[in-house]
Copies of this chain bind each other. A is one copy, B any other.
């Protein structure tokens, strides 16, 4: 590949071996291919020589393992240098990108082109790879929030170094490759998500037409078990398409970690009784939700009416926010403070990133909560790996029923508090019928013993959740490979693995059980 693409210096290797929780895997070398041909060549060489390779896009899989391979001794293939936007279609609303293209890159591209389309952004970091997130089946906040469901035409380098394109995209002069997912014959896109069966070096992402009108909404409930009523109230609207995007509901711990770091003078973990005091002092509630309405003014007005009707009784407060309200609010913060004594500036600072996410604008603000237990303040350029932030994510999925949501939250809160950690939870109305419950176990890796304590708590939580039938949509490396289905399923995955990668070269142990 040429030595300029190969990194061996110890500092870089050690950095790459660092995640947001304790890992022991060693990385002997980092490869930085800058195009598909180099990826393919590297894979055929690796295959011939039996060298395991672990590919990452931007490598910002924080909370799930960052860049660290599942097993020790893998060459790390860093694809962040592949930054081409290969295709852009303003008429049909799609873009084709390489793995190094980040959320911010696409956002900048849309702005530079003065595009009539919006992207969807995850709440992670503007520097996250679009392909990386879609392949891990991450999600965002707009109607295009299910990233894998809005992607097609994958370009994949197989473990043997060959390249395939999925759907119609691989057929000669195909006209519908970028607009139709399935192609003809078996649809194999899914094989390359949450997997180690190929390296995705290209992907088409569908973009959302900017609506005529956009309105965000925020709601609150201070009832202890408010989550149940909220989920049940919103389900019909999510199912009938009135709510076209995911609604996110955070518990009080999650909100507090979004506002500030661990409050000085309090004992860890913050117990519910203390949270109650803090909630009153800082004026937030047990549950807070956000979402948005997209459409013409009349479509949004009708959705607003239905939302008001649905949430009546389930929430104590429901507020709507659009560009105009936001501008007016920004203008009158001074006056507002004079009259009420309250500082609206801070509120606006907190609201703006969420408001932006709801319209697909990437932000690094939520990443700040990874510094919750840190002694240092959140730096301007946050990097949880570098800064010793402890973070382990679990994300169990459940049917969209209030009872299920309440039960899940109860289990998680009890388990994390018992383990000594604040249970930060968000419940996302992910699809028409399913909720995902994202739990962040956040701690300070620089505190001796915390790594072990956190991992123990994480494993206990996972065991309990899986025993109750709540499986995570996405797994952190300590949970890999995926939980054992019946053995026939495992045998099936393994036989596909053997067919594609007999030498167990590509990201061994990642999701698919080892050969």
Cα A399 to Cα B195 in complex, Å, equals 30
Is A469 on the interface with B (CB-CB < 8 A)?
A: yes
Cα A162 to Cα B488 in complex, Å, equals 6
Most buried by B among A185, A467, A500: A185
Q: Pick the interface stretch among A4-12, A315-323, A351-359, A491-499.
A: A491-499
Contacts of A398 in B (CB 8 A): 175-176
Q: Write the A432-474 contact mask toward B (1 if CB under 8 angstroms, else 0).
A: 1110000000000000000000000000000000111111111
| Distance (whole angstroms) from the CB of A235 to the closest CB of chain B | 8
Copies of this protein in the assembly total: 2
Chain A: how many interface residues by the 8 Å CB criterion? Answer: 94
Contacts of A184 in B (CB 8 A): 194, 471-475, 482-483, 511
The B-contacting residues of A in range 267-324, CB under 8 angstroms, are 294-296, 298-299, 302, 305-306
- Cβ contact of A193, chosen from B182, B191, B239, cutoff 8 A: B182
Cα A236 to Cα B296 in complex, Å, equals 12
Contact between chains at B180 and A473 (CB < 8 Å): yes
Q: Write the A45-88 contact mask toward B (1 if CB under 8 angstroms, else 0).
A: 00000000000000000000000000000000000000000000
The B-contacting residues of A in range 467-515, CB under 8 angstroms, are 467-475, 481-483, 485-486, 488-489, 491-493, 495-496, 498-500, 511-512
Is A431 on the interface with B (CB-CB < 8 A)?
A: yes
Given A184-B483, A194-B185, A511-B184, A471–B434 Cβ distance below 8 Å? no
- Cβ contact of A162, chosen from B183, B294, B492, cutoff 8 A: B492
The B-contacting residues of A in range 154-173, CB under 8 angstroms, are 158, 162-165, 168, 170-173
| Distance (whole angstroms) from the CB of A403 to the closest CB of chain B | 11
- Cβ contact of A473, chosen from B162, B182, B197, B468, cutoff 8 A: B182
Contact between chains at B400 and A143 (CB < 8 Å): no
| Distance (whole angstroms) from the CB of A194 to the closest CB of chain B | 5
Q: Pick the interface stretch among A91-99, A368-376, A381-389, A415-423.
A: A91-99
| 15 A-B interface contacts by CB (under 8 A) | A165-B485, A171-B485, A173-B467, A175-B404, A176-B469, A180-B430, A183-B482, A184-B471, A184-B473, A184-B482, A185-B512, A241-B241, A296-B302, A298-B302, A499-B499
Q: What residues of chain A have their CB less than 8 Å away from a CB belonging to chain B?
A: 91-94, 137, 143, 148, 158, 162-165, 168, 170-176, 178-195, 197, 206, 209, 211, 236, 239-242, 244, 294-296, 298-299, 302, 305-306, 397-401, 404, 430-434, 466-475, 481-483, 485-486, 488-489, 491-493, 495-496, 498-500, 511-512
Besides A175-B404, A240-B295, 13 more A-B contacts (Cβ < 8 Å) are A137-B182, A162-B492, A171-B466, A176-B399, A184-B473, A185-B475, A186-B512, A187-B190, A187-B191, A187-B193, A191-B191, A298-B298, A495-B500
